[in-house]
Amino acid sequence: MSSSLNELREPLKNAIQLALQVKRPWKYVQSIELILTFRGVDVKKQQEFRFRDTVFLPKGVGKDVKVCVVTDDAMVQKAIEAGAFMGIGKSDLAKIDKKSAKKIANRCDWILVKSDLMGVAGRVLGPALGPRGKAPIPFPPTADIPQLITRYKNAIRLHSKEQPWVGCKIGVEKMSIDELVENAIHVLSYVEEKIKRPLLTVAKIYVKTTSSPAIEVV
């Protein structure tokens, strides 16, 4: 982590607190989002500023994340016992129709697939997962499934298209400010490492809740 990012801890804390103060008092738990806008960047030419990444937050996401595991029939129960929201065995894949695939895509946040089942899982689930930005994620046969599930329960998607900005959730309002700051710093460090230049020289940073305006981190 660069020293400049470490110096952002207090400004991030202040910005998050302000976003929480000005949010609308909705009944449900609101997300806290981090937004980066890049300046002087052509994302069509500078591929490092295009994101389709998964980032694992050190303090978690603050809510229940539903992980689906597609694996051998004999491993389905183990996946469920390890915390998977849904386990799909190899023999179950052939029974999944388009309607069922859409239901799985809507209910699950992450779909982890044993690598040798990726071909059939892609054909069966891919058409429903693709439009929702939930491409199946392969894992090797030797993977520690409980550890894998725990890891993805703390994961967020860092996606951008052809616009010079990227954003993601860093938690929810019921988390502590310090936890949200740690998650934000982790994401910022990830971005800085990917673009290979000091982040603050090319980006402005904002935070917001679901209902608040974006608050610049200064």
Angstrom distance (rounded) from CA 162 to CA 148: 31
Angstrom distance (rounded) from CA 81 to CA 95: 23
Give pLDDT, residue 1.
61
Which residues, 6 or more positions from 211, have their beta carbon under 8 angstroms from its beta carbon? 23, 24, 26, 30
Angstrom distance (rounded) from CA 34 to CA 199: 14
Fill in the DSSP letter of residue 28.
Answer: S
What is the homologous superfamily of the domain 3-62+154-216 according to CATH? Ribosomal protein L1/L10, rRNA-binding domain (3.30.190.20)
CATH 3.40.50.790 residue ranges of the chain are 67-152
Residue-wise pLDDT for 134-158, tens only, equals 999 999 999 999 999 999 999 999 9
Element at 33 (helix H, strand E):
strand 31-38
How much of the chain exceeds pLDDT 90, in percent? 89
Is the pLDDT at 57 greater than 80? The verdict is: yes
Give pLDDT, residue 106.
96
Residue-wise pLDDT for 3-40, tens only, equals 688 899 999 999 999 999 999 988 899 999 999 999 99
CATH 3.30.190.20 residue ranges of the chain are 3-62+154-216
Residue-wise pLDDT for 206-216, tens only, equals 999 999 999 99
Which residues, 6 or more positions from 100, have their beta carbon under 8 angstroms from its beta carbon? none
Residue-wise pLDDT for 162-210, tens only, equals 889 999 999 999 999 999 999 999 999 999 999 999 999 999 999 999 9
Element at 118 (helix H, strand E):
helix 118-129
Q: How confident is the model over 50-67, as a mean pLDDT? A: 96
Residue-wise pLDDT for 90-134, tens only, equals 999 989 999 999 999 999 999 999 999 999 999 999 999 999 999
Q: Which long-range contacts (CB under 8 A, 24 or more apart) does 96-102 make?
A: 96/124, 96/125, 98/127, 98/128, 101/125, 101/127, 101/128, 101/129, 102/128
What is the homologous superfamily of the domain 67-152 according to CATH? Ribosomal protein L1/L10, domain II (3.40.50.790)
